[in-house]
Amino acid sequence: MIRNLLIASSALALTMLTGCKPEQPAATTAASAAVPVTAANVTDARLLNAGAEPGQWLTVGGTYNEQHFSPLDQITRDNVGKLGLAWFADYDTNLSQQGTPLYVDGVIYVSTAWSKVYAFDAHDGKQLWQYDPRTPGQFAPKICCGIVNRGIAAYKGKIYLGSLDGYLIAIDAKTGQEAWRKLTIDPSKPYSITSAPRIIKGKVVIGNSGGEFGVRGYIGAYDADTGEQAWRFYTVPGNPAEPFENKAMEMAAKTWGGKWWELGGGGTVWDAIVYDAEHDLVIFGTGNGSPWNQRLRDPTGGDNLFIASIVAVKADTGEYVWHYQTTPGDTWDYDAMSPIMLVDITRDNQKRKVLMQPNKNGMFYVLDAGTGELLKADPFTAVNWNDGVDMKSGRPRVKPEARYDNEKAFNLAPGVQGAHGWHANAYNPDTGLVYIATQRAYFVMQGQNNFVPNPGAANLGINMGAGAAYTKDHPDAPRDFVGFLSAWDPIQGKEVWHGETGNGPTGGVLATAGGLVFQGGGNTTKEFRAYDAKTGEKVWTMDPQTGVVAAPISYELDGKQYIAASVGIAATNYYAPNYSRLLVFGIDGKAQLPEPVTYTPPPLNPPELTASADEVAAGSKHYNNYCVICHGQNGQARTATFPNLMTTPMLHSQEGFDAIVLGGVRSAKGMASFADKLKPAETSALRSFLIAEANELKKRQPPVAPPAPIQPADAHAGLGADSNKK
């Protein structure tokens, strides 16, 4: 699930982000009374026929098919050069923005970091209201990969939000006031929600995250009027000593061994939900097992249903209908959580509805939506863990050496960063191409010696330091982590073109009937751009002053087509600005962004190391158990989501360090107390480890002049907010 547990991330530790207030009731800030009387008047009929309203964007994928395609065609290759900024609106956060906006009848609704929601008048960008669920900052250690939210839903006058702390919340679309909230998780376990809910036949369908931390995955449906649970489908079986919830769980249990239930099993549904109205099915992907390393999760080597699978259930009851497991016995963090789209195709002279998914494991799958029959499976990027898929059994032909052990490492492709993450893909029915935010990534996998399960902490079961040793012994081994936009022919199973290559993940995609593909440059390229859908030629670009990872949308207002994008990635430093905004573009737009400010990061100036080697080694163990998932390898957080511990002034004071780590003085900022996990002697060792790392880093850095000011730019090199994970 760690859509990039490693790209830059970490796990739960010492001082996290800005933008969260102490726990208190939800708050709404109104800025105008111009909300339409029938705000968010989205009905079942409108959702079923969303394609007939090309000027609207009623659900996160545009329509139930989730193709992220706009039939609007005013903006074309011929006039896209005249595309300019019509207006913009600032957010109150310096964190990553991953939410795809909605446009309903003249109003844009968008979710931002910390599960906040804004409503803007689409005519001029005036803020109508802002809703803040007041998620407690101390909840942040339960979150794998960033304080993010990927979208909202609109239905019958309400906006629906899944909050980080596991609530499903209904907001009055006219006033921004909370209508109701329903807790959807067990708060004693490290669940969270980052994904967008879907509205299906009067129900709100949503899953949750937490697979790294040892939870049992499920997806649930809740009454849109009251929030009462209508059904729940677990994705992995529970303790076999207790009755199974249904026959599907009884079937799944036969594919597990060991004591998987003690760490939950994983399989969370943290994204990738679609509704197939033709077959009346809710179809969704499931996440990785817990721990990642199957040898520790299930020594018998079973398939472990339904992790890393695509599953279909009846929309009314949640009853199991079919599944296809993309990665049986997953041991590589190969969630099947990449976005799913539904497409009508002609195959063997027959029309059929299929689902398509470019999977994290590097394979592009085409399945019959009604039955789950595998129709096609092709690699769409570098893949070395299998040598193809047996089309009769549907199973990948896994290379034995890919199932790493504690002795021999394997340079995995795609690595745990994935061939594709949560970022939206798009399909253009005119070109027949799927436009994929693709990644070529390697990651060295090796089992972890002396693994001890730690409920509530990240349980991966792999040696996170294996890459350094492997690279030393194999200096010519590939170690790429790059991203690019790929135009993929799903029928022929081949790439038609791809855009320029950049470091790390690129952004979500929008295709339009004007023959264009819009996409953000992602984590490291501050660019919002448009490609020719047929040729891949870049025909328009602008500088948003920040990275763009969320998928844009297109809508029509007063007879004119617009493109809207929620932009912003976590900056290179915790205290730096990142220019998180909603940007709206139209032909002949004349608005200008303010000039960016500069930021000078603090110097690397650690205290002298006085601790013994044994104490530093003990601190390293504590760091890897509790801190690495948030603060990154060796404390060098590369984004604003978490402070860089190499430069924190707390290295100079054990008292100040303990006030944060044990005393929880920054819990309102997201840094919870770890007093229930660490003792003072252990935090002393932890600080000693960080001091040692900072001094080593300082030795490796050549003498330089005072640091030059930097501009925010997300270099997700670990597993953090813009990673490919939950």
What CATH number is associated with residue 42? 2.140.10.10
**Strand 426-428, strand 433-441: pairing:** antiparallel
> Domain span at residue 353?
27-587
- Considering the domain boundaries, does residue 52 fall inside one? yes
C-alpha distances in Å from residue 566, one per residue of 50, 88, 91, 335, 416: 22, 10, 10, 26, 26
Helix or strand or coil: residue 259? Answer: coil
Q: Nearest-5° angle of CA 362, CA 366, CA 368?
A: 150
Neighbours of 339 (CB within 10 A): 29
pLDDT of 139 reads 77
Domain count, the chain: 1
Token representation of residue 635: 């404390």
* DSSP one-letter string for 97-138: --PBPEEETTEEEEEEGGGEEEEEETTT--EEEEEE----GG
- Considering the domain boundaries, does residue 611 fall inside one? no
pLDDT of 640 reads 55
- Considering the domain boundaries, does residue 125 fall inside one? yes
pLDDT of 668 reads 61
Tens digits of residue pLDDT in 103-132:
999 999 999 999 999 999 999 999 999 999
pLDDT of 711 reads 41
Helix or strand or coil: residue 516? Answer: strand
pLDDT of 348 reads 80
- Considering the domain boundaries, does residue 113 fall inside one? yes
Tens digits of residue pLDDT in 7-56:
333 333 333 333 333 345 688 887 655 677 779 999 999 999 999 999 99
C-alpha distances in Å from residue 102, one per residue of 500, 620, 718: 29, 45, 30
Cis peptide before 306 (omega within 30 of 0): yes
Q: Are 15 and 666 in contact (CB under 8 A)?
A: yes
- Considering the domain boundaries, does residue 687 fall inside one? no
Residues annotated as part of the active site:
333
- Considering the domain boundaries, does residue 316 fall inside one? yes
Q: Are 101 and 510 in contact (CB under 8 A)?
A: no
- Considering the domain boundaries, does residue 76 fall inside one? yes
Rounded Cα distance between 726 and 715, Å, is 18
Q: Which residues of the chain have pLDDT under 50?
A: 1-23, 705-721
Rounded Cα distance between 487 and 533, Å, is 8
- Considering the domain boundaries, does residue 549 fall inside one? yes
Q: Are 285 and 313 in contact (CB under 8 A)?
A: no
Instruction: Please tell me the pTM assigned to this model.
Output: 0.87
Cis peptide before 291 (omega within 30 of 0): yes
Rounded Cα distance between 106 and 276, Å, is 28
